[in-house]
Chains A and B, each alone.
Chain A
């Protein structure tokens, strides 16, 4: 029988234990990263169901292929490579824009940062509230118009706070290429939001 880990291990120990079939170590490994994985997929796909599909597929693949992980890169990079490939495939397969417009109407299942960061008095100021809503819709529209790669790089840099070098590793490209993607994404944002900011 494979011994089940009972004590807190650091990440390399967890990975090695999970590679040896320690289920509890695998669970701990999942829990180290699954919140940020779901968050990335949610923001990239803007659909609760699709984000959950990515979550499931990503961790099932990790489970099946963990034995091939050789510590050549960080586990985070390896996992995000799987997640970003799945997200890119999903983005390429569907028309993002149409699905996003429906999500803007019903944010069910999610905390929208707008709800917590927005000026609380905005509601009492109809003009300001309308402006915020317009900005939000405009941003959704621009995000929908980005190419899948631009979108992924932007999400990982802006919302996940990942460095461009890491994003390059995750996306299987150079830091310079990731930088160019980010630059194009922000240019498109600026062009579209010029009247609002």
Chain B
């Protein structure tokens, strides 16, 4: 293979898009040609520069797009191409949207004769009245205020249905109500809610905001544990970044270091890996850092991070490889 052919193939070589034979030829040529090795290094540097301009939508943007999609699907009147022709109708005073229709399977549909419907409706109203009367003050202590309790449930689900006598039915509903709470982020009860929200699998935007609020109280062992969990397990990179911010000051804590090491070796996001390296390097545990960076070098494919590790290891007079 000539230098011209090798250089022509370098971009596809770096992308791993050459055939086995072509790749072999390029590798052999690069081993023997210093000028083409330099070209390969430049190609990789260009790739690293390109990595750096990728835009990653914030979780809030994703949450907004999802919310708009719900609205638009609702407005489309449910003209889906579903074979069954299941139609999304606009219904109810609240929550007429597509997403609300997801819970259609849980809502009540009466198909009784008019007379029976009246009786059943009365029974249902009694049940609702009973539940509303039983609606106890929230069990959360702490110094925060509660406002805007909705008179009607935000969602409801029929838990249990039983005919009690001819024409009468008893229905047990599970209801979810919305309420607005406000209070100090230092309040234990507020923190408990934030800890729950930080694990809500359905809303990355909510998790980002919750973790962002919690991270300023990472002195609490429970919160630090939640941040470690989010950093290790949250599928959203924005949430993991926020959790990492809260853990930065605990780089010296053995448990946190252990978690950071795992994240460095496993996280797929190069931005997070880079920040974890910074946190680990700040601490004076050079032997452990050298070991983990060497391990990282064995598998890291991001050229920017590789360069960074090499520099750090050089600065520590350590080899870039494990022996």
Contact = CB atoms under 8 A, between A and B. Distances in A.
Contacts of B61: 38, 48, 52, 109-110
A116 B275 CA distance: 7
B83 A20 contact: yes
Nearest to A159: B54
A10 B59 CA distance: 25
Contacts, number: 183
Interface in A60-86: 60, 63-68
Contacts of B305: 117
A139 interface: yes
Interface SS, A side: helix
B82 A60 contact: no
A23 B81 contact: no
Interface SS, B side: helix
Residues of A in contact with B, size category: 35 or more
B49 A110 contact: no
Residues of B in contact with A, size category: 35 or more
B271 interface: yes
A110 B56 contact: yes
Contacts of A114: 52-53
B197 to A, nearest CB: 18
Highest count of chain B CB atoms <10 Å: which of A67, A113, A182, A186: A113
A139 B56 contact: no
A30 interface: yes
B12 A158 contact: no
Contacts of A46: 55
Nearest to A46: B55
A63 to B, nearest CB: 5
A182 B57 contact: no
A139 B81 CA distance: 42
Contacts of A187: 11
B62 A34 contact: yes
Given A34-B66, A48-B61, 8 more contacts: A23-B98, A35-B62, A113-B53, A116-B272, A136-B53, A159-B54, A190-B43, A190-B46
Interface of B: 11-12, 15, 17, 42-43, 45-47, 49-58, 60-62, 64-66, 68-69, 72-73, 76, 79-86, 88, 98-99, 101-106, 109, 236, 238, 241, 270-272, 274-275, 278, 304-305, 308
